[in-house]
Structure 1
Amino acid sequence: MRICILAEGSYPYVVGGVSSWIQMLMTGLPEYEFIVYAIGAEAKDRGKFKYKLPENCLGVEETFLDEILSLRAAQMREGILTGEDQQTLYELVRGKRDVPLVRLAEIFRYGRWSSPLAVFMSSDFFDIIVRVYRESYNNLPFTDFFWTMRSMLLPLFFLLQQKLPEADVYHSVATGYCGVIGGMAATVCQKPFIITEHGIYSREREAEIIKSDWAKTDFKGVWIRYFYYLARLSYQTAGRLYTLFEHNGQIAADLGCAPEKIRIVPNGVHMERFAHIPPLTDHGGPIRIGAVVRVVPIKDILTLLRAFAIVKRTLPDAQLVIMGGLEEDPDYVAVCHRTVRMLGLEDVTFTGSVPVAEYLPQMDIMVLSSISEGQPLAVLEGFSAHRPYVTTDVGCCRELIYGDSTDTCGTAGAVVAPMDYEAMAHEIVRLARSYELRREMAAVGFARTKARYTYAQFIDAYRAAYETAVKEGAHGGRRI
C-alpha cells in the first residue's frame, strides 16, 4: 500500500508537533510506502529537511507559497470559462455556499490550462471578483480587495492544477490548502481520502490572522472566512476525519464535518525513550522549570516569561529552560530576548533544538504556555519522564492533566487560561513548594500515558485506519 501524506507548514521543514507525528507514523508502519507532498511557506527552505526520511518514504514533493505568489501575470484571456464554471467560481469567491469539489476538479483539471494563472487572469474571473466586490465589499478599496483575492486564491488555483503523486490512500494532516488538494487528488484518482486534525486548522489560522500584521485590518474577516470555507470543502470530500480527542471532534462537526465521519485516535509516545529517567527527587537545589516548545507566537513564550518573572519574586533562585527550535521565526525570538532584558530576568536559557530525553531529568516542573494546541506530544513526553505539567487550557490539555469521565488516575498538574501569566505563576509556585505534590502528580501523568497514549496503540489505530480506507473505497464523486 502507498500512502500520500499532505502536509502544510510542517514536515519536513519544522521540528516538533505535527512534523514529529508524521515521522513517527511513517517509521511505525514499515510495511507501507509513503510519499510526502509538502506545502512550504518559502522556497529558501527547499531541500532543507529537519528529518532523515525513513526508508519506506519514497521522497518529498515540494511546493512553496512564495513562489506561487511571485508568478508573473499571464496575458488576460476572454471567454475561457463556461457559464457553469463561472457560477462555481462565483460561489467559491463569495464563500457563502459550499461548492462540490468535483466541480473544481473539472475546472482545474491537470493540463486544461497552459498557465496556472490562466483562470485567475481571465476577464471572466475578473468579472466575478467585481461582482462579489459590488455585492459585499464596496465599502473597501477595490485595489486592496483584488490583491487580497489574489493572495488567497492564487495558491489554491495553482495547487488544484498540480498532478499529485499516485497513491492508494491520500492522507492530509490538516484542512486548509493541503486538505482541499488531498480531496482533489482522491476525487480525480478515485482513491480514499482521510484527514487527521491535530488542532483545528481554521481556528488556528483565525488566531494567527487576528494578531498578524500582514493581513490588513479591513480584510482579516475575509481571510478568516476563507480558511473556514476551505475546511468545509476538505470535510466534504474526506471519507474519515481522525482527531485527537472528543472536544476537537465536536468542533469539527460544528464547522461542517458529518459526525459519522469522525473518529478519535489519540497521539502516542515512545515511553521507552524515557525509561532511563528516574522519578523526581527532592534534590534541595533551585527549582528548574522546563518548556519543550518551538519559539513561535502560537506557543506564547511571552506569557511564560511574564509568569517566570512573578515566580522569581517568590523563588529567586528558580531557573527556566526553554527547549525548542529558534529558526522558524527569528523576529519573535528577538522579541523574547528583549522581553527577558526588559523584565530584568536572570536564569533563562534558550537551548534551541536539543535531545529532550537528555534534558528532562534535570527538570522539576514542565510548562506549556500555548494559545492553541491539539494533543501536545511534549506533555506526553514529560509525563513519560515522571514530570508534572502546568498547561494552558487549549486542545486536549485539560483531559491530559485531569483525565476524562472514564479516567480514575487523578491529577497530573494544573491547567490555567491562555495568556493568564499570573495564574500560571501561581500554579508553578504551588508545585514548586511541595515535592510530594510534584511526585504524586508526576506518577499520575505516567500512569495515564501508559494506559492510553502509547506509541503502539497509536500505530495500531492508523494501520487499521488505512486498511479500512482501502476496504471502504473512494469518496467524493465521479472520476475526472
Structure 2
Amino acid sequence: MRIGLLTEGGYPYVTGEARLWCDRLVRGLEQHAFDVFALTRSAHQEQQGWIELPPQVHRVRTAPLWSADDGSGRGGRLGDGTGYRRRQRRRFAEHYGELAAAICAGAAGAAGSSGAAGSAGDGSAEVADRFASALYGLAELARDEGGLAVALRSETAVRALERACRAPGAARAAHEARVPDLLVVAAQLEQALRPLSLDWYEDEEGGLGSVDLCHAASGGCAALPGLLAQHFFGVPLLVTEYGVQLRAHYLAGAGEQAGAPARALVAAFHGRLAAEVYRQAALITPGNTHARRWQEKCGADRAKLRTVYPGMAAGRFAEVGEAGADQADPDTLLWVGRIEPAKDLVGLLHAFAEVRKEEPKARLRIVGALAHGEECETYLAHCRALAAQLFPDEADGVHAVGDNPVSFEELGGPEVPELPDAYGAGSVVVLSSVVEGFPISLVEAMFCGRATVSTDTGAVVEVIGGTGLVVPPRNPKALADACVALLRDPERRERLGAAARARALELFTVEQNIAAFHGIYLEIVSHCPVRRDVLDEDGDPLPFANPAETHVAGRWSTAPGTDGEAGPRFGQWLAARKGTRSGPSWAASGTTAPEGEPVAAAAAGEGEA
C-alpha cells in the first residue's frame, strides 16, 4: 500500500524530532511505498539536508512553518483589499470568526495548569463541531482561492479575534486579552494554520488524495494535512505520539513575551485541534501509558488507542550488554542525556554530594550534548560552577589533587567517542529529570544491562517495570540514598541489570515496533472502503480487480491456461472479459466459466489454503 508519512520538524532531515524512529519504520516496512510530507521548523534544519532515503520512499514534499511565506508556492491571495472579492472576504471573516469563538470558549480550562489538558476533551460537542466546521471551512476556502497566508496575517483576522474575546460567554482569559495579546495569538494561529494553504490536497499522483493511509508521526500541525486528506478524500488517518504535542505546547506557552491571556488562547486552539485530530483518526498509537492518559484527557476515544512502544536499535549495545557490568568501574555513577534545565542536573549534583559522604570513592560522569538555546548554555555553565564549588580539587585520600570526582564529557568527544562506550563506563545509570516523556536514555541503559536509579516522572515507571530504583523528583536525599544502596550491593546491581536487559529486548526493539505498525496498517485499510474505481483498457470498471483471493497463498492469482506461470489476477481476468459474470459464485463451485473457458485450478479445489 502507499503510505503518506506526515512529519513536523524531523524526518527526512538529519536533525529534529522522531527522525530515527521514522527512518527505522520506513526501512523496516520495505513492502510498502512511502510519500513523505514534511513540515520544517527552521532554516537551519533545511540547510542540514536529508538523511539517505531508502528506495521505498518514492516522493518527498516539504513546506516551512518558520518563514514569512506560506511555503505552498500558491501565493495566498486573501487580504484586506487589493485583489480581494467581497464574497471571499465574507467567507473568510465568517469561518475565522467561528474558529475564534470556539477558541475563546475553550480558553477557560487552558488558562489553568490543572485544567489545561482536560479543556479540549471535556468541552461541549457543540463547540467541538463549531471548531471543526470553521477549520474545514477555512481549508475549503484556501483550496478554492489559492491559500490563506495573507488573510491570516490581516487586520480582519485580528478584529475577528477581538470580537470573539469580547462576546458574551467568552472565557475570562479571553475577556482579559488586550491588543498585544491579540497580535501574538493571530501570529501563532497564522503559523499553525499554514498547512491549510498547501497544494498537497490533490487526488492524483503526488497528492495526499492518492495515498491509501496517512500516518502522522506526531499530533498538532503534522496531523493537520492528514485531517484535510480525510475531509477531502476520505483517506484514513493514523496518529502516533511518542511525546504528546499538546503537552509540549502547554509547557512552551505562546512565547516568552506573551501574557497569560495570549498563552491561554493559544493553548485553547491547540487543545481544540488535538481533540479534532483524535476524533477523526482511525487509530491513535501513544508510545506509553503516560501519553495515553494525556490523549484520553484531551478527548481521545479509548477504543481507538493502541500503545506501541518506540523501537530502538538494540544491536549497537549488544557487546556492552553481553559483557555485563563486570568491566565497568563499580564506583562510577553515570548520567547520559541532553543538558537542559528539565534534566535537573543541579539536583543530581547535590545528591552526589550526599553520596560522597557515604562512599568517598564514588565518581559521577555527566555525558551528553548541549540542547539548543542560550538558556541551556547558561545552565551548563551554572552546573560546572556548582560542581567546582561542591567538589573542590583537593587531596581526599582517594583522589589526587586536581582530580575532581565530577566530570562533564561531550558525547562524540575523545573521552566518549560512541554512546555504548558511555554506558560501559558506569555501573549505575542515573536519571534525575523533573520533566520527561519517554526516557530513551533509560532504555539504552537497560539494553546495556545496567542497574538504574530514576525519578518518578513521565513514563519512567512504565519503562523500568520493577527492574530499577525509582525515587520522587526534586528530592536529592532520596536520589542519593538509592545510589548508595546500589553502589554497596554489586549482586543486586547484577540482578537488576540482567532483568532490565531482558525487559528491554522484549518490549523496546525496532522489530516489535515494525511488526506492530505493519499489523495496524493492514487493520486500518481493511476497514476502509475502496475510494477509487479500477478501470480496464476501455475505461470500464473492474469491480473485482483486487479480490481478497489474491492475498491468499496458493494459485488464486494464476491466469487460466498458463500452467502455473504468473499472470494477471484471476478476478481481473474474469471481470475484463466482455459478457462474462464477474461474481465469484460459479467460480467457487468448480464449474467452467462462460463460453467454455476453464477456471483457475484453485477454484476447482486445488491448492486450498
Query: TM-score surpassing 0.5?
Result: yes
Among 433, 454, 466, the residue aligned to 1:391: 454
| 2:54 corresponding residue in structure 1 | 54
Give the Å deviation of 1:240: 0.4
| 1:348 corresponding residue in structure 2 | 407
Give the Å deviation of 1:284: 8.5
| 1:28 corresponding residue in structure 2 | 28
| 1:183 corresponding residue in structure 2 | 227
**SS of match in other structure, 1:67:** coil
User: Once the two structures are superposed, what CA deviation does each residue of 1:336-376 show, in whole Å capped at 9, x if it has no partner?
Assistant: 13222134254322313553223322221122333444433
Aligned runs of 1:120-139 on 2, under 5 Å?
Answer: 120-121=152-153, 124-135=156-167, 136=170, 137=173
Q: 1:257 is aligned with what amino acid?
A: A
Give the Å deviation of 1:196: 0.9
1:152 aligns with 2:196: no
User: Once the two structures are superposed, what CA deviation does each residue of 1:154-206 show, in whole Å capped at 9, x if it has no partner?
Assistant: 01222112133533221112222112232123322321111111132222322
Matched-pair contact (CA < 8 Å) for 1:299–1:371: yes
Give the Å deviation of 1:153: 0.6
1:81 aligns with 2:90: yes
Give the Cα–Cα distance (whole angstroms) in 2 for the partners of residues 176 and 298 of structure 1. 22
Root-mean-square deviation (CA), in Å?
3.3
Give the Cα–Cα distance (whole angstroms) in 2 for the partners of residues 287 and 175 of structure 1. 43
Matched-pair contact (CA < 8 Å) for 2:212–2:235: yes
Give the Å deviation of 1:67: 0.7
1:91 aligns with 2:101: yes
Among 191, 194, 197, the residue aligned to 1:161: 197
1:108 aligns with 2:163: no
Matched-pair contact (CA < 8 Å) for 1:279–1:439: no
| 1:451 corresponding residue in structure 2 | 506
Give the Å deviation of 1:463: 0.6
Q: 2:420 is aligned with what amino acid?
A: A
Matched-pair contact (CA < 8 Å) for 2:345–2:383: no
Q: 1:107 is aligned with what amino acid?
A: L
Matched-pair contact (CA < 8 Å) for 1:241–1:262: yes
Give the Cα–Cα distance (whole angstroms) in 2 for the partners of residues 181 and 204 of structure 1. 20
Matched-pair contact (CA < 8 Å) for 2:104–2:265: no
Q: 1:88 is aligned with what amino acid?
A: E
Q: Which segments of 5 or more consecutive residues in structure 2 lack a partner in the other structure?
A: 107-126, 201-206, 392-403, 531-609
| 2:553 corresponding residue in structure 1 | none
Give the Å deviation of 1:288: 2.6
| 1:407 corresponding residue in structure 2 | none
Percent identity of paired positions between Structure 1 and Structure 2? 24
Give the Å deviation of 1:115: 5.1
Give the Cα–Cα distance (whole angstroms) in 2 for the partners of residues 296 and 50 of structure 1. 26
Length-normalised TM-score, structure 1: 0.85
Give the Cα–Cα distance (whole angstroms) in 2 for the partners of residues 228 and 6 of structure 1. 20
Cα 1:133–1:3 change in 2 (3 A) is same
Q: 2:455 is aligned with what amino acid?
A: T
Length-normalised TM-score, structure 2: 0.68
Give the Å deviation of 1:131: 1.1
| 1:270 corresponding residue in structure 2 | 313
Give the Cα–Cα distance (whole angstroms) in 1 for the partners of residues 218 and 148 of structure 2. 24
Give the Cα–Cα distance (whole angstroms) in 1 for the partners of residues 64 and 352 of structure 2. 38
Give the Cα–Cα distance (whole angstroms) in 2 for the partners of residues 309 and 439 of structure 1. 25
Cα 1:114–1:16 change in 2 (3 A) is closer
| 1:336 corresponding residue in structure 2 | 380
Matched-pair contact (CA < 8 Å) for 2:158–2:183: no
Q: 2:180 is aligned with what amino acid?
A: D
Give the Cα–Cα distance (whole angstroms) in 2 for the partners of residues 275 and 250 of structure 1. 33
| 1:216 corresponding residue in structure 2 | 259
1:424 aligns with 2:455: no
Q: Whose radius of gyration is greater, 1 or 2?
A: 2
Cα 1:41–1:256 change in 2 (3 A) is same
**SS of match in other structure, 2:36:** strand
| 2:467 corresponding residue in structure 1 | 412
Cα 1:239–1:280 change in 2 (3 A) is same
| 2:271 corresponding residue in structure 1 | 228
Give the Å deviation of 1:390: 1.9
Give the Å deviation of 1:36: 3.1
| 2:8 corresponding residue in structure 1 | 8
Aligned runs of 1:430-449 on 2, under 5 Å?
Answer: 430-449=485-504
**SS of match in other structure, 1:287:** strand
User: Once the two structures are superposed, what CA deviation does each residue of 1:287-324 show, in whole Å capped at 9, x if it has no partner?
Assistant: 33333322344444444444344434444554434444
Give the Cα–Cα distance (whole angstroms) in 2 for the partners of residues 250 and 285 of structure 1. 39
User: Once the two structures are superposed, what CA deviation does each residue of 1:115-173 show, in whole Å capped at 9, x if it has no partner?
Assistant: 53343245653442121222345764622122122232101222112133533221112
Give the Cα–Cα distance (whole angstroms) in 2 for the partners of residues 255 and 323 of structure 1. 36
